[in-house]
Amino acid sequence: MTVYKLTCVICPLSCSVEVEVEGNRVKDVRGFSCTRGKEWAVEEVLSPKRVVMTVIQVRGGKEPVVSVKTDSPIPKERIRELMSYLATLEVEAPISIGQVVVEHPLGLKTKIVATGSVEAVETRGHA
Ligand code: SF4
């Protein structure tokens, strides 16, 4: 039996929650003050997920990179793989805030969304 001691991050009350696990089964959850916190703690122990924030390289932009994030949390064990994948990407300027720059990377349900904007550099046409 293992007891995980967590601090709930769902609201500012920061309850101390204990989750008792045997094998893959939750035997008991203590210390939460609401069901949202209880559900968060169980998920955090059994299948933790995180929103990923990083930057992606931009081609033809006034800035070399744009900040992005996943539009939903992804399994913690896929984060390293996703970061490596995003490090190889280059997107074309202009990029606007909120724009989806990658749909379902690596088969994940999430989308990669720009959290900043990058204007394109002005190119002069040949006379
Ligand atoms: S358990 Fe409920 S009340 Fe406590 S920190 Fe989590 S969300 Fe807030």
Query: What is the C-alpha to C-alpha distance for residues 16 and 19, in angstroms, rounded to an integer?
Result: 10
Query: What is the C-alpha to C-alpha distance for residues 69 and 17, in angstroms, rounded to an integer?
Result: 28
Instruction: Determine the distance separating the centroid of ligand 1 and the alpha carbon of 5, expressed in angstroms.
Output: 14
Q: Is 15's C-beta closer than 6 angstroms to any atom of ligand 1?
A: yes
Mutate to test the pocket of ligand 1, among 6, 7, 8, 9 (most ligand atoms within 8 A of CB): 8
Domains of the chain, by residue range, sit at 2-46, 53-114
Q: What is the pTM of this model?
A: 0.80
Any alpha helices (H) in the chain, and if so which ranges? 35-46, 79-87
Q: Is 9's C-beta closer than 6 angstroms to any atom of ligand 1?
A: no
Chain mean position to CA 13: 23
Atom 8 of ligand 1, residue of closest alpha carbon:
11
**For each of the chain's 127 residues, which pLDDT tens digit applies?**
999 999 999 999 999 999 999 988 999 999 999 999 999 999 999 999 999 999 999 999 999 999 999 999 999 999 999 999 999 999 999 999 999 999 999 999 999 999 999 999 987 665 5
pLDDT reported for residue 122: 83
In CATH terms, the fold of domain 53-114 is CPE0013-like fold (3.10.530)
Chain mean position to CA 77: 12
Residue 74: closest CA among 91, 53, 89: 53
